[in-house]
Amino acid sequence: MKTSIYNIFFRGLTLVSKFIFIIFLGKYSIDETNLGVFGLLSTSIAFLIYIIGFDFYVFNTREIIASKINLVEKIKNQLVFHLSTYLIIIPISLLIVFNLNFIPIRYLWLFLALLISEHLGQELYRLFTTLEKSKIANIMLFIRSGLWIWVVIFDFFILKNQIDLYRYIVIWALFSYLSFLLFFILTIKSIGITKIKYSTPDWKWILSGLKTASVFFIGSLSFQVIQLSDRFMIDFFYGKKLVGIYTAYAQFTNAIDVFTFSAITMVAYPNLLSSFNDKKNYAIIKNKFSKNLLIASITLIALTSIIGPYIFKFLDKKAFLDELPTFYILLTSAFILIMSNVYHYDLYVKKKDKTILKIALLGMVINIILNLFLIPKYNIFGASIATLISFIIIFVLKFYNSKKILTK
């Protein structure tokens, strides 16, 4: 229980820090461009982390939980896999992101450095969580993703330096590498590595992991496309100012999603898994999970819908208030997404991975098509409508398949 409180505290602190940075950047930048550039840079890194990672951790987590024998070899083999994805994915991604001018070329080396440190930091976070050291994992997450923001605030308000997004990204990169270095040292101590020696990669094990992870990867990637790809389309058709507004709105909905996941879904999932063979108990836990999500999401969305406009007014930029319908559509989308988790995890516990995968792929395809039609005509409002429709379809399909399995 104590560990759970620590985890929620540090994850919450990280989330609040990100939220403050978005408000700070929106308030004190000349216009919405800085928010747009930061939104595209952070979105690109988040998206590429998924591609490079390939959800390989899903396979290795299962292997480590099954047996901690040869733990070092398992970690080394996973690292070899990621080095391979670096060599393939990074050159292609840099060409796309910078050649199409989504991100200014001056950020190239910073982008590359952050992509590597953020990915390795994420993998180490997952490893420590698997090794039941989630308290350390969440402290490291805060150092990597939250602490640097307070240095930025100090730089602006106390040192009185001019606002400079490039300098802020440098500070982010420094803290990202600090977190990685601390994580690396703790990893060596935790698993008892006394010396590092070369060994031939176990390609059979790696290929087995690739096959297992591919199903999860396609599902995760589909979801990331729905959540993140619209920013690139908005930038392509309208530029970075509208991306900045959309990024600020999305920060609110993401905060609600992350909070409900950390506080409710992460707690409910193990209970669903352990009680599955007891149908009566499983139904009770599932209903409680659904009720908790419903109460939490409605409460948070109601509060956000009231507080949000006052925050946007504080930013003192008219465009944030002009586009408020988009904000409310995104909040509705967040509610649909959160409630779909009840049926998502129900299907997952029942090992209906292929059903989940098909639904995710369909949702992604529909979202891309809708974005291509709606964004050119209705700008960020069109993007929010595309997201809402995609999540409604995903919710209905998960609900239907969950009930369909139940009646068999």
Contacts of 245 (CB under 8 A, 6+ apart): 32, 35, 319, 320, 323, 326, 380
User: Which 8-state DSSP code applies to residue 127?
Assistant: H
Question: How far is Cα 223 from Cα 367, in angstroms, rounded to an integer?
Answer: 10
Q: Which two tokens stand for residue 310?
A: 């006052």
**8 A C-beta contact, residue 230 and residue 371:** yes
Q: Please state, in angstroms and as integers, the Cα–Cα distance from residue 397 to each residue in 61, 252, 403, following that order.
A: 29, 26, 10
> Has residue 408 got a pLDDT over 60?
no
Tell me the average pLDDT across 334-346: 94
Per DSSP, helices labelled H in 277-352 are 279-314, 318-322, 324-349
pTM, whole model, 2 decimals? 0.92
* Residue 389 exposed, middle or buried by CB count within 10 Å (0-12, 13-18, 19+): middle
Over residues 72-122, the pLDDT tens digits come to 899 999 999 999 999 999 999 999 999 999 999 999 999 999 999 999 999
Per-residue model confidence (pLDDT) at position 407: 53
Residue 193: pLDDT band (50, 70, 90) is: low
Per-residue pLDDT of 351-402, as tens digits, reads: 888 898 999 999 999 999 999 999 999 999 999 999 999 999 999 999 999 9
